[in-house]
Amino acid sequence: MTDPSAKGLLLVMIGVDAAHEAELNRWYDEEHFPERRTIPGFINGRRFTALEGTPKYLATYDLDSPAVLQSEPYRKIAARTPWTERLAVHFKPSVRNVYSEIRPPVTRGAKPSGTGLLLVAIDVEAAHEAELNRWYDEEHIAERMAIPGFLRVRRYVALEGGPKYLALYDLESPEVLQSAAYRHATGAGTTALTKRMQALFKPIVRNVYLQIRYQDGPSA
């Protein structure tokens, strides 16, 4: 059962051909983000462009809870506008996932986010889910937060879409992933438990992003 007090996340990934990228960005800036900014329960909206992985564009919306997406104010704007209908035919691909937070965020310092984001989404067989969660809680998150430039780690479970488990790592900048500390942690410093867990991931999505837009919502 979903914890009703847990924060929610709406995640949208979009690919679009180059001929429609400028219009996509105008649509977000002039219509789509402003609409969502008015909805009670929307904490913020962020947009990113992929430096590694696909689709090219990512939008995340932090929510007071996943139930915000069932609210009457959200339902009123959920119907596609003429502009959305015209543009959506060029979304190739389009992914829309809804998540519930499964643990409090782990943060470093007062600044929870920078210009970089590492997204890791994985599935494991049900028999290994408890082990996966222990690995995150007892080893992996602490290791990553010890790396300079890692600002926050959040974990979610999918209510709609997949893979089932999502981890978001906020970074001072994408260049943190080129640092000696990170390269050691993912290379020679990889633990035996991490290697065991990685062999169980199926599938795994690992994307690196640069933030291109941030907007507070009414619940910020």
What's this model's pTM, rounded to 2 decimal places? 0.95
* Two structure tokens written together for 37: 């900014």
Distance CA 101, CA 87 (A): 31
- What pLDDT shows up at residue 78? 86
- What pLDDT shows up at residue 5? 73
What is each CA distance from 162 to 5, 45, 88, 102, 128, in whole angstroms?
Answer: 22, 21, 21, 15, 17
Neighbours of 45 (CB within 10 A): 22
- What pLDDT shows up at residue 1? 44
User: Which distant-in-sequence residues (6+ apart) come within 8 Å of 200 by Cβ?
Assistant: 124, 125, 128, 132
pLDDT digit string (tens) for the chain, length 220 residues: 456 678 999 999 999 999 999 999 999 999 999 999 899 999 999 999 999 999 999 999 999 999 999 999 999 998 889 999 999 999 999 999 999 999 999 998 888 999 999 999 999 999 999 999 999 999 999 999 999 999 999 999 999 999 999 999 999 999 999 999 999 999 999 999 999 999 999 989 999 999 999 988 888 7
Distance CA 25, CA 207 (A): 20
- What pLDDT shows up at residue 2? 54
Question: Is residue 56 within 8 Å of 16, Cβ to Cβ?
Answer: yes
- What pLDDT shows up at residue 79? 85
Calculate ∠ Cα 22-26-27, nearest 5°. Answer: 115
Calculate ∠ Cα 198-66-39, nearest 5°. Answer: 130
The CATH architecture that domain 8-101 belongs to is: 2-Layer Sandwich (3.30)
Q: Domain spans of the chain? A: 8-101, 106-210
Tell me, yes or no, if the two domains 8-101 and 106-210 fold the same way.
yes
- CATH fold, domain 106-210, is Alpha-Beta Plaits (3.30.70)
